[in-house]
């Protein structure tokens, strides 16, 4: 990520030199200017690369060149407070299994991808936030009355996304005999559920609500509605970042000015989902 101020300083210096050499003639620019962004952003070529999910309706979802969802809205708000307009954001897909690597290798400056803050992950990446607190739940077939919680999954097939900790937690803490099935994305898990290939899908309640609300899934699946964990969504950053405090300030401002609540309502409308009021809006942690 290049800062806007640095780009502006370089541009000003080049302008002054050109004017001096050409006697005040027109200044050349565009693609030959050293400040042009590889990502094509505005503002002197500055851009910021933000990782999101591309397959989570209501959170992070790609439809052509359009990106929507709560994570997208929070990321856009934070980027604006950091000095980047919406057209200066380069969105990149951040699958669960690749998030740490993307931050460590500089493929993303920030990641807003239903990224739960855990001590294990803090060993390799840093977090700002949390900006939302979800709860792990189950998605089952609409006519399923047997699965009422994680304890009822003994001998059942449970689907989650590769790299997620959700399914393993159920096996470790609730149903040792559950059979774990991994798919690359939650949409694939729901497809398997509708086809009868798995008995349940697990992840955070807000993700499941978004999946259940999709036209192709309506009337076929339902959220059990008995969350059994606390998932604190953080903003993933590299460990050597210099943005954490500014990101936290932006999240707090979003909560205070009402934009956070508006984003939650807009992205869960019609799903029947209500965030846990005792946890949301969340209290932002101090940067380590």
Assign residue 78 the CATH number of its domain: 3.40.190.10
Tally of CB atoms within 10 A around 59:
30
Confidence class of residue 21 from pLDDT cuts 50, 70 and 90?
very low
Q: Is the predicted pLDDT of residue 50 greater than 60, yes or no?
A: yes
**Model pLDDT for residues 240-271, shown as the tens digit of each residue:** 999 999 999 999 999 999 999 999 988 887 66
Give domain status of residue 277, yes or no: no
Q: How many domains does the chain have?
A: 3
Q: Is the predicted pLDDT of residue 28 greater than 50, yes or no?
A: no
92 shares its domain with 159: no
Give domain status of residue 39, yes or no: yes
Global confidence as pTM: 0.72
121 shares its domain with 188: no
Helices (H), the chain: 4-22, 70-81, 99-104, 119-122, 166-173, 186-194, 205-212, 244-256, 259-268
Q: Is the predicted pLDDT of residue 187 greater than 70, yes or no?
A: yes
152 shares its domain with 119: no
176 shares its domain with 58: no
- The set of residues, in sequence order, having a beta carbon less than 8 Å from that of 278 and lying 6+ positions away, is none
- Residue range(s) defining the domain that contains residue 159: 136-223
Tokens 């400040």 locate to 35
161 shares its domain with 202: yes
User: Angle at CA 160, nearest 5°, toward 157 and 162?
Assistant: 125
54 shares its domain with 119: yes
Give domain status of residue 275, yes or no: no
For the record, the structure tokens of 177 come out as: 């005999």
Burial of 89 (0-12, 13-18, 19+ CB in 10 A): buried
């Amino acid at each position: 990520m290049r800062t806007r101020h640095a780009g502006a300083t370089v541009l000003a210096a080049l302008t002054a030199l050109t004017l001096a050499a050409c006697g005040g003639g027109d200044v050349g620019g565009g693609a030959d200017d050293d400040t042009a962004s590889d990502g094509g952003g505005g503002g002197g070529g500055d851009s910021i690369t933000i990782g999101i999910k591309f397959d989570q309706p209501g959170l992070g979802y790609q439809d052509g060149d359009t990106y929507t969802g709560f994570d997208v809205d929070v990321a856009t708000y934070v980027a604006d407070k950091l000095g980047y307009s919406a057209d200066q954001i380069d969105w990149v897909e951040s699958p669960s299994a690749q998030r740490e690597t993307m931050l460590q290798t500089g493929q993303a400056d920030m990641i807003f991808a239903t990224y739960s803050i855990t001590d294990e992950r803090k060993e390799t990446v840093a977090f700002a936030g949390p900006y939302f607190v979800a709860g792990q739940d189950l998605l089952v077939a609409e006519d399923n009355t047997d699965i009422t919680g994680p304890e009822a999954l003994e001998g059942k097939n449970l689907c989650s996304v590769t790299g997620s900790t959700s399914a393993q937690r159920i096996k470790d803490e609730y149903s040792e005999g559950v059979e774990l099935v991994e798919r690359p994305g939650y949409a694939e898990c729901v497809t398997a559920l509708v086809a009868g290939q798995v008995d349940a899908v697990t992840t955070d309640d807000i993700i499941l609500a978004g999946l259940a609300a999709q036209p192709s899934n309506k009337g076929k699946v339902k959220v059990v509605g008995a969350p059994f964990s606390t998932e604190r969504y953080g903003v993933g950053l590299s460990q050597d970042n210099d943005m954490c405090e500014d990101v936290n300030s932006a999240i707090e401002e979003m909560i205070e000015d009402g934009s956070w609540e508006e984003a939650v309502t807009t992205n869960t409308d019609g799903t029947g989902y209500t965030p846990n009021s005792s946890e949301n809006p969340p209290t932002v942690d101090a940067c380590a």
